[in-house]
Amino acid sequence: MNVMRPLDADAAGRTNLSGLSRDELKEALRGIGVPEAQLRMRAQQLWHWIYNRGVTDFDAMTNVSKDMRAALAGACEIRRPEVTVAQISEDGTRKWLIRLDDGNEVEAVFIPEEDRGTLCVSSQVGCTLTCRFCHTGTQRLVRNLTAAEIVGQVLIARDALGEWPSPADGRLLSNIVLMGMGEPLYNFDNVKAAMKIVMDAEGISLSRRRITLSTSGVVPMMQRCGDEIGVNLAVSLHAVRDEVRSRIMPINNKYPLAELLGACASYPGASNARRITFEYAMLKGVNDSLDDAKELVRLLRDYDIPAKVNLIPFNPWPGTEFECSDWETIRAFSEHVFNAGISAPIRMPRGRDIMAACGQLKSASEKARTADLMRAGAGAAT
């Protein structure tokens, strides 16, 4: 069954078509009196203009009649969430601070590389989980993003890169990772709806093989992620012993390593050609010993998981209790895993100077609020 949510409208009562599914576009068209027999065709036209051509002005829709364009302009709009700050790092990484219609804020990050460009997308404002090493984890969950707000991040990036219409190949924005703020598997329905729009061959048309969803290990949703969305999976592992993992990632108390790795082993579509990525932030003296590296190899072998490991030098943020492991330690860890036949590259941090690196995202409004609280606290203490 297709459950429709009420369509968003602005102060003037106009429905925002940006980020809507085909069925939702049809509903909007029905709302302005488009005859039933034309709905499919008209929705298809809109779809093409919005997601293939990136237009935001109905007048640009040359194959839509003038009357129809006027009716659309009167009742609808095509509007992205507002970009309040756009930053570019020394290394070319871009970060957008995006204000949603209700005033909440999220961040999206674009990381250009030689042969590809990856957009890191947020799925929630804040996060309910409280991983100790993660800046986002210090911000409590405010709410899930809607599908339109998730797609909106992609549209904003494509606007900034000037990448309309969707190029067949050689794209600047070639990959998406759901690795921004929030736990995507706690917002499954909206993430799924958004990815369906992003993957649609007649629109943005990004292949599911170029999309990676990162989870902290929400075991009950992993199978559905593979079956229903079909994207690549990344798992935030960060420790190989339950005692350590539970300490730094409280979700491990609910879904311990054995359950998590079991779910990884049976992830739909995982194969040697499509490996599961294990993210591992290197935390000095916490998870970075050679014994940890050995245990990691043992676990991945025991569970027979087609795996690669991404070693992420810990990215510091104000107030954190952790430090990044020494370079030599990271290299030794990587080498051990690599020598066991498992790829274990060290991910060079990108965009650290603009706080765009993994685990550094947090809305500026929340930062300001924390700063206020700290000032208030300091005042009270003196």
Active-site amino acid positions:
107, 358
**Binding residue (CB under 6 A) for ligand SAH from 21, 166, 175, 214:** 214
Write the DSSP string, 133-173: T-SGGGSPP-EEPPHHHHHHHHHHHHHHHT--S--SSS-SS
Q: 93 vs 138, which CB is nearer to ligand SF4?
A: 138
Note whether 83 and 156 are within 8 A (CB).
Answer: yes
- According to the binding rule CB under 6 A, does residue 136 interact with ligand SF4? yes
* Least Å from the CB of residue 129 to ligand SF4: 4
127 binds ligand SF4 (CB under 6 A): yes
Which region, judged by CB under 6 A, interacts with ligand SF4, from 15-23, 64-72, 129-137, 166-174? 129-137
CB of 246 to ligand SF4, least distance (A): 13
Nearer CB in complex with ligand SAH: 291/323 = 323
Q: Is 134 or 297 the residue whose CB approaches ligand SAH more closely?
A: 134
CA end-to-end span of the chain: 60
CA-angle at 109, arms to 94 and 193, nearest 5°: 140
Closest distance between ligand SAH and the C-beta of residue 358, in Å? 3
Please identify, among the stretches 39-47, 98-106, 125-133, 370-378, the one whose residues bind ligand SF4 according to the rule CB under 6 A.
125-133
Which structure tokens are listed for 372?
Answer: 């206020």
* DSSP secondary structure string for all residues of 114-137: SS-EEEE---EES-S---TT-SGG
Considering only CA atoms, which of 250, 227, 252, 228 is closest in space to residue 242? Answer: 252
CA distances from 52 to 99, 166, 197, 291 (A): 24, 5, 11, 50
In the region spanning residues 259 to 318, those forming contacts with ligand SAH, defined by CB under 6 A, are 279, 281, 312, 314-315
CB 141, min distance to ligand SF4, A: 9
CB-facing half-sphere around the CA of 88: CA atoms within 13 A:
5
Residues in region 150-179 near ligand SAH by CB under 6 A = 179
Per CB under 6 A, the segment of 20-28, 107-115, 126-134, 283-291 that binds ligand SF4 is 126-134
Residue 317 C-beta: closest distance to ligand SAH, Å: 6
Question: Would you count residue 81 as binding ligand SF4 (CB under 6 A)?
Answer: no
Strand partners, 232: 212
Strand ranges (E), the chain: 15-16, 76-77, 82-88, 94-99, 105-112, 117-120, 124-125, 143-144, 175-178, 211-215, 232-236, 276-282, 307-313
Q: Which H/E stretch holds residue 185?
A: none
Q: Residues 120, 201, 275, CA angle at the centre, nearest 5°?
A: 50
Cα 151 to chain centroid, rounded: 10
**DSSP 3-state of 69:** helix
Q: Determine if 134 is a binding residue for ligand SAH (CB under 6 A).
A: yes
Tell me which residues in 171-210 interact with ligand SF4 (CB under 6 A).
182-183
For ligand SF4, the nearest residue by Cβ is: 137
Output the six-digit token pair for 202. Answer: 């007649």
d(CA 297, CA 336): 9
Q: Among residues 179 and 198, whose Cβ is nearest to ligand SAH? A: 179
Among 19, 117, 137, 184, binds ligand SF4 (CB under 6 A): 137
Count of residues in contact with ligand SAH, rule CB under 6 A = 17
How many residues bind to ligand SF4 according to rule CB under 6 A? 10
CB nearest ligand SAH: which residue? Answer: 359
- Binder to ligand SAH among 236, 287, 334, 363 (CB under 6 A)? 236
14: its two tokens: 């106009």
Which token pair is 189? 């329905």
Minimum separation from the CB atom of position 134 to ligand SAH (A): 3
Structure tokens at 162: 């000037």
Hey, which residues between 205 and 234 contact ligand SF4 (CB under 6 A)?
216
Q: What residue 107 binds from ligand SAH, ligand SF4, none (CB within 5 to 8 A, per partner kind)? A: none
- Report the interface residues with ligand SAH, using CB under 6 A: 131, 133-134, 179, 183, 214-216, 236, 238, 279, 281, 312, 314-315, 358-359
